[in-house]
Amino acid sequence: MHIDELLQQIHCSQNSSPTLSVPKDWAQGRTVFGGLSAALLYAAIREQVPADRALRSLTTNFVGPLLPDTDFRIDITVLRSGKNVTQVTASAVQEDQVAVFSQACFGIERQSKIKVASQSQHQMPLPTKAKFIPQIPKVTPKFLKHIDLSVVEGGLPFTGKTNAKVQGWMRFTQPPTQITDAHLIALIDAWPPTILQMLRWPAPASTMSWNLEFIHPHQPVAADDWFAYQADTRQAADGYCHSEANIWDKQGELIAISRQIIAVFD
123-147 pLDDT tens trace: 999 999 988 876 666 667 899 999 9
Strands in the chain per DSSP E: 19-20, 27-28, 31-32, 53-62, 72-81, 85-94, 97-108, 147-153, 165-172, 205-214, 227-237, 240-248, 254-264
In a domain, 120, yes or no: no
103-124 pLDDT tens trace: 999 999 888 888 888 888 899 9
pLDDT of residue 87: 97
Using CA atoms, how far apart are residues 6 and 176, in angstroms rounded to an integer? 11
In a domain, 116, yes or no: no
- Residue 253 CB: number of other CB atoms within 10 A? 15
Q: For residue 213, what is the domain's CATH number?
A: 2.40.160.210
Taking 80 as the threshold, does the pLDDT of residue 14 lie above it?
no
CB 174 within 8 A of CB 243: no
In a domain, 33, yes or no: yes
In a domain, 121, yes or no: no
In a domain, 114, yes or no: no
The range of the structural domain enclosing residue 172 comes to 3-108+127-264
40-68 pLDDT tens trace: 999 999 999 999 999 999 999 999 999 99
Phi, psi of 198 (to 5 degrees): -80, -20
- Residue 177 CB: number of other CB atoms within 10 A? 11
In a domain, 189, yes or no: yes
State the total domains in the chain. 1
CB 59 within 8 A of CB 211: yes
Output the pTM of the full model: 0.93
In a domain, 118, yes or no: no
In a domain, 12, yes or no: yes
Phi, psi of 7 (to 5 degrees): -65, -35
